[in-house]
Amino acid sequence: MRQSQLFIPTLREVPADADVKSHQLLLRAGFIRQNAAGIYSFLPLGKKVLHKIENIVREEMNRAGSQEMMMPALQLAELWQESGRWYSYGPELMRLKDRHERDFALGATHEEVITSIVRDEVKSYKKLPLNLYQIQTKFRDEKRPRFGLLRGREFIMKDAYSFHDKQESLDETYETMKDAYSAIFSRCGLNFRAVLADSGAIGGKDNHEFMVLSDIGEDLIAYSTESDFAANIEMAPVLLAEQHSSEERLELEKVETKQAKSIEEVSKFLNISSDKIIKSLLYIADEHPVLVLVRGDHEVNEIKLKNELSATDVVLATEEEAQKWLNTVPGSIGPVSVTSDVKIIADQAVPFMVNAVCGANEAGFHYVNVNPKRDFEYSQTADLRFVVQGDLSPDGKGNIVFAKGIEVGHVFKLGKVYSEPMKAAYLDENGKNQIMSMGCYGIGVSRTLAAVAEENNDDKGLIWPLSITPFDVHLIAVNSKNAEQAALSDELYDQMKNDGFDCLYDDRPERAGVKFADSDLIGLPIRVMVGKRAGEGIVEVKIRKSGESFEVPVSELISFIRQEWDKLSN
Ligand code: 9G3
């Protein structure tokens, strides 16, 4: 493609409201333009990258046995009423009426549509499992669209849905989809983790988010330095590092601690480290008082607490409730001699505490030399705390570090969350009517493009991985008014095209500096410059990622480019 023909409106200055690198660079390099908040056009270069990412997605989904189809963006409200989501979703779901005043949703996702298609067409276990996907525009009226394509209101998603008779079949497809996702994000050159995620609103047994590690990520993940373990902070399990202390158990003693209430204050007042203090928090779980005990240097993870208590609502007790159930105020709450009306649950690390400190359930007083079991009972122990950096990884390999992540994919085991209300049923091998199980699998395709741009750039511009670069080679006639350089450039352009390179030829009558700056901005992997030594049959080749440049005789150019291409591929 000749750059003098290409529609590529580059910008010199950084757009004001673009506050992450990928957003700034995709705008400046003429890949996208904003039409409205969270709504973008893909200009030719952006469209080429999008197309390549979609094809990688397509190849891996087809290889994994999913069949491509296309569903409408306009969805009958009746379908969302069947699943109940017409009423449960708020302004984020874009709705409209057609000319006959009929209600529609603009597709934010397609569980209802796909389930309505499959329930009408699939009646026998012989037709299962079935795995269908589409690559399609989605609409979600985000309250605060931001970071360009990373959080838009109209975006491209690959969404796949699988249908099963048996749970094992769903489990198998789920693993196959996870492997396909790993292949897709690896081929896009992304540093990602498959993160165990909280089941969240849409139910289903477990689910994984595919997170690109990035400083601007909105999610916090815990991952192991020595294995592929990774989990959302809320979900990350804690491996109990049992520490048996030979310390002699001392006599329980009540001491005055005056105004010292918080862990820090008690730690300072009694001059003991926080990991010797039992942090006691009174919660109300579905109306029942529960005293939760964790070590003083740990934090209660309320999602784990809720799951452990299988409670729907878990909230910290008010002062009045503390007064009512423990006859004291927060800051002096403890587990010693507590009424049996209050259930006591302890984090798994608490039973290993020796000669600890805890509130005496009397304002201004604490107990010292408190020993679990001897001085207080608890009905159960569980993993109730947030993971912290440095914890042993739950798989025993390496230690936990935290990182921010950009969610580019999400795979779910839905179970019967949609097939039940929408009656997607089949006859099993015994002729018995059964409800199908489902899985769903999403990739933010336009978000993936932005994530690649976010993680592959430098102060001069974008640096595209070979797999999705908009063009392979940037051929530049340094001075296109110079006949010798123009002639050789034209010749090389034809030769590279014949040799199968998708070449962008900068034939514009611009100063060299402008051409080089634009080339750095656009970020093609290999640049060939036809300059002063054209007469000697020598051109310069520059590798965008490493910045290395080489003087190469024209006769060796193609083989040299292939060699550099292979080096960049590994
Ligand atoms: C909505 C709106 C926003 C939404 C949803 C529905 C997220 C919604 C979850 C999913 C689950 C999976 C299939 C592909 C993979 C993800 N935001 N989700 O259901 F109406 Cl406005 O989309 N869907």
- Strand (E) or helix (H) holding 563: helix 557-569
- Our CA angle for 344, 349, 352, nearest 5°, is 100
pLDDT digits (tens, 9 = 90+) for 468-481: 999 999 999 999 89
Cα 83 to averaged position of ligand 1 atoms, centre (Å):
13
pLDDT at 198: 67
pLDDT-derived band of residue 206, with 50, 70 and 90 as boundaries? confident
Q: Is the CB of 414 under 6 A from ligand 1?
A: no
Residue 118 has pLDDT above 70, yes or no: yes
pLDDT at 201: 40
Q: Is the CB of 159 under 6 A from ligand 1?
A: yes
Q: What is the mean pLDDT of the chain?
A: 95
pLDDT at 244: 85
Residue 308 has pLDDT above 70, yes or no: yes
353-to-243, 280, 342, 349 alpha-carbon distances in Å: 9, 14, 22, 7
Cα(151)–Cα(142) distance, integer angstroms: 8
Q: Is the CB of 93 under 6 A from ligand 1?
A: yes
pLDDT digits (tens, 9 = 90+) for 264-283: 999 999 999 999 999 999 99
Q: Is the CB of 209 under 6 A from ligand 1?
A: no
pLDDT at 413: 94
Cβ burial of 269 (10 Å; 0-12, 13-18, 19+) is middle
Q: Is the CB of 410 under 6 A from ligand 1?
A: yes
What average pLDDT does the segment 138-161 reach? 97
Which residue's CA is minimally distant from atom 17 of ligand 1?
108
What average pLDDT does the segment 428-449 reach? 97
pLDDT at 330: 85
Closest ligand 1 atom, CA of 200? 9
Cα 206 to averaged position of ligand 1 atoms, centre (Å):
16
Residue 205 has pLDDT above 80, yes or no: no
pLDDT-derived band of residue 235, with 50, 70 and 90 as boundaries? confident
Substitution candidate for ligand 1 out of 66, 109, 443 with most atoms within 8 A of CB = 109
pLDDT at 391: 94
pLDDT at 356: 97
What average pLDDT does the segment 294-302 reach? 96
Q: Is the CB of 52 under 6 A from ligand 1?
A: no
Residue 484 has pLDDT above 80, yes or no: yes
Delimit the domains of the chain by residue range.
48-237+402-453, 253-382, 471-569
What average pLDDT does the segment 240-266 reach? 92
**What is the separation, in whole angstroms, between the first and last Cα of the chain?**
27
What CATH number was assigned to the domain covering residues 471-569? 3.40.50.800
Question: What HEC string does 393-427 produce?
Answer: CCCCCCEEEEEEEEEEEEEEEEECCCCCCCCCEEE
Residue 258 has pLDDT above 50, yes or no: yes
What average pLDDT does the segment 485-504 reach? 96
Q: Is the CB of 440 under 6 A from ligand 1?
A: yes
282-to-297, 331, 343, 363, 371 alpha-carbon distances in Å: 17, 11, 10, 15, 20
pLDDT digits (tens, 9 = 90+) for 8-18: 999 989 888 89
Q: Is the CB of 202 under 6 A from ligand 1?
A: yes
Cα 107 to averaged position of ligand 1 atoms, centre (Å):
9
What average pLDDT does the segment 435-459 reach? 98
Q: Is the CB of 151 under 6 A from ligand 1?
A: no
Closest ligand 1 atom, CA of 141? 21
Residue 263 has pLDDT above 70, yes or no: yes
Cα(291)–Cα(346) distance, integer angstroms: 8
Q: Is the CB of 282 under 6 A from ligand 1?
A: no
Q: Spelled out in words, what is the top-level CATH class assigned to the domain 48-237+402-453?
A: alpha beta
pLDDT at 141: 98
Residue 57 φ/ψ, nearest 5 degrees: -60, -45
Q: Is the CB of 135 under 6 A from ligand 1?
A: no
- Give the CATH superfamily of 253-382: YbaK/aminoacyl-tRNA synthetase-associated domain (3.90.960.10)
